[in-house]
Amino acid sequence: MKGDKNLWVLICVCVINSLGFGIIVPLLYSYGKKFGVTEQTIGFLTASFSIAQFFATPLLGAISDKWGRKPVLAISLAGTCLSFLLFATAQNIYMLFAARILDGLTGGNISVAQAMISDTATADDRAKKFGYLSSAFGFGFVLGPAIGGLLSKFGLTFPFYFAAGIALMGTLATVFFLKETYTEDKRKQGGKNTFTFTSLATVVKKPVIGTAVITSFLLAMGQFTMIIGFQTFSVDQLKINPTQIGLFYAGFGITGIIMQLCVPFFTKVFSSKSVILLLSTMLCLVAMFATGFANGFIFFAACLFVYGLFNGLRNPMLNAIIADHNDPKRQGEVLGVNQSYASIGQTLGPVGAGLITAISVHAVFFLSAFYILIGFLLTFRLKSKEKQHTC
C-alpha cells in the first residue's frame, strides 16, 4: 500500500464522499418537516434514493467499463454536490424528492471505486484493498452524523451547503489527483460490452457471483433491520438520549472499521475468502439472535459489539469474491449490480422492521437474525464454488 498512491487518493475521495452523505442523514427528517415531510413520507423520501440507485449504479458501472473509471467517478461526485445544493435551496417537498433521486442516480461512485480497486489489485491483495476502501466509507459514515449535528447549530441548511462543499472537494480530487486505472488500451482489449438492465437478472444466475450478490442483499437487509431495532430499543427500553445513541452507534461503526483494517491478517490465516465470510457470518448470526433476548444495556452492547466487529468482514470478502470470479472488462457493471441489490436490501430491511415492531421490539432482532441465517446458509454454496474460476 505504501507505493500505491492511487489507492490513497481513492481512500481520501471515499472518506470525503461518505462524510458528505453522513452529514445530512440525521437531518433529513427535521429539515423536511417544514416542507410537509411526515413520519410516513420520510420513508418514501429515503426509499427514493435507494430505488434510483438500484437502476443507476450498474449503468454507471457499465459506462465506466466503456469510458473509464475516472470521468464517471468525477461526474457522479459532481451530481452528489448538485443534489446537496438542491436540497439546501428547496422550496417544496418535490424539490426534496428531486434532490434525493438525483443523488441516487449519480450515486454509483461506490461501485466505480470498487472497480478501480479491482483493476489494479491481484487475487492475493484484493480483499485487503477492499477492506481499506470499506474502512474509508465507514469512517465517513461514522463521523458524518456527528459533524452534521454540530453544524446544524448554524441553521438546518448549513450542513447541506457544507456537504456540497465536501462533495466538490471529492470531485476536484478525482479530476486532478486520481489516475485512470481502466486505460484506453485495456478498454480496447476488453472489446465492446453493451449494457442492458437484464444484467440485474442475469448476474444473479451466475453460480459464484449470483450467490455472492444474493448473500450481500440478505446481509444488508439484516443490518438495516437491526438498525431500526437498535433505535427503537435504545429509546423505548434503555431510555438513553439522542447524544448517547449517537455515541453508541458511532462505537458500533468503529468496531466494523477496526475489523476491516484487519482483513490482511485474516487473508493470511485463511486461504479461502468464503471460509472467512462463513465464520464471520456465523458469529454475526449468534450475536444477533442473542440480541433478541437482551433487556439491559450491557448485554445489548456486548451482542452488538460482536455483531459490528464481524459484520465488518462482509463487504471486503463479498466484493473480493465477486471480483475474483468476474470478467475484468465487466467489473464496473457487475460490482454495480451487487451494490444495486444491497441498496434494495437497505430499503426493504427497515420496512419489514417497522411492520414487525407491532409484535415486539425484540422481534426485530429475530427477523434480522433470520435474514442472516439465510445468508449464512448461502455461504456454504460460496465455499463449494469459490475454487471455480468460471462466472
Give yes or no for residue 123 having a pLDDT over 70. yes
Q: What pLDDT, on the 0 to 100 scale, is given for residue 189?
A: 66
Q: With contact defined as beta carbons under 8 Å apart, do 120 and 181 qualify?
A: yes
**CATH code, residues 1-189:** 1.20.1250.20
pLDDT tens digit string along 158-208? 888 998 998 898 899 889 988 888 777 776 665 555 556 676 777 888 888
Q: What is the pLDDT of residues 347-383, one digit of tens each?
A: 788 888 878 877 888 999 999 999 999 999 999 988 8
Distances (CA, A) of 389 to 278, 382, 385: 20, 12, 9
Q: Which of 84-88, 238-242, 320-324, 356-360 has the lowest mean pLDDT?
A: 238-242
Q: What is the mean pLDDT of the chain?
A: 83
SS3 28: helix
pLDDT at 280: 95
User: Any residues with CB less than 8 A from the CB of 179 and at least 6 apart, and which?
Assistant: 5, 6, 9, 70
Fold match between domain 1-189 and domain 200-391: yes
- For residue 391, the model assigns a pLDDT of 47
What number is the average pLDDT over the span 86-111?
86
Which pTM does this prediction carry?
0.77
What residue segments make up the domains of the chain, in order of their start? 1-189, 200-391
Q: What pLDDT does residue 217 have?
A: 93
Residue 390 pLDDT: 47
What is the C-alpha separation between 386 and 325, in angstroms, rounded?
8
Find the mean pLDDT for residues 45-61: 80
Q: Which of 61-70, 232-241, 284-293, 312-321 has the lowest mean pLDDT?
A: 232-241
Torsion of CA 64, 68, 69, 72, to 10 degrees: -60
> Do 317 and 276 contact (CB within 8 A), yes or no?
yes
More confident residue, 199 or 263: 263
Q: Which three cell numbers stand for residue 74?
A: 468525477
pLDDT band at 252 (very low <50, low <70, confident <90, very high): confident
* CATH class belonging to 200-391: mainly alpha
